[in-house]
Amino acid sequence: MGITIHYNGKLNSTNLIEPFISEIEDIAKDMNWKYNILENDLHEPNTSRLDGGEITGHIPLKGISLSIHKDAESLSFYFDKDGNIRNLVSMAFLSKDELSESSDFVKTQFAPIQIHITIIKILNYIKSKYINNLEVIDDGDYWIAQDEELLKKKFDFLNDKINEVGNLLSNIKFTQDDSVTSMIERIENILRNYLK
């Protein structure tokens, strides 16, 4: 559950990777946003793996991620050797055959609405200059509607539902004698009754 912006596409040219990173870095500096740059060799094979909870090995991606707000996920732009947007975690865990689509996402549900709008504005700019085929699926519908009131209603509705479910679950009393299975069954029953 949560309002998320999904985006996918391919740079107009692989020659734009460095200028793209440089310009997004300048924007981050101007806005006092934290950022991280990933400068891996795009032509080395993917040797990544999970080791003790950390990603190790080489991931053939180059790009930048922005921390625009503490309550939003990072907005990332990582590119493979062909200029496709890729999700860093997916690249680390999925096989080449499973990586059929170039995409990434950022959840904005718990950040202020203006952060969601800012991210959409960044994506619009990137589409106009670097990724003409950029596709965006915005759970808040701001990408298409550009309607702040509609976006606010969606945020409010989802936050109300999350709070309602949280209140329901916080009232469940468990004992040491409850098995994991019985706890899960009680939670499922409460949620089923709530959704009727």
Give the tens place of pLDDT for each residue, 34-59: 999 998 878 787 777 666 666 767 77
**Sign (positive/negative) of CA torsion 57, 61, 62, 68?**
negative
What does the pLDDT look like over 121-154, one tens digit per residue?
999 999 999 999 999 999 999 999 999 999 999 9
Most confident of 16-25, 50-59, 156-165: 16-25
- How large is the average pLDDT for residues 168-189? 84
Distance CA 129, CA 82 (A): 17
Task: Give how many domains the chain has, as a whole number.
Answer: 2
Least Cα distance to 49 among 58, 60, 40, 41 occurs for 58
Among the candidates 129, 146, 163, a domain finishes at: 146
* Sheet with 85-86, edge to edge strand ranges: 34-39, 62-67, 75-79, 85-86
The residue segments making up the domain with residue 177 are: 151-195
What proportion of the chain, given as a percentage, has pLDDT over 70?
Answer: 89
Least Cα distance to 116 among 154, 80, 78 occurs for 154
Query: Do 89 and 185 belong to one domain?
Result: no
Which has the minimum average pLDDT: 63-67, 153-157, 168-172? 168-172
Query: Do 156 and 134 belong to one domain?
Result: no
**pTM score, two decimals?**
0.81
**pLDDT at site 96:** 61
Where does 73-179 have alpha helices with state H?
88-93, 113-129, 142-145, 148-170
Query: Do 90 and 128 belong to one domain?
Result: yes
Query: Do 97 and 27 belong to one domain?
Result: yes
**pLDDT at site 161:** 86
- How large is the average pLDDT for residues 100-123? 91
Question: Residue 86: beta bridge partners?
Answer: 78
Query: Do 24 and 115 belong to one domain?
Result: yes
Q: Is it the case that residue 71 has pLDDT exceeding 70?
A: yes
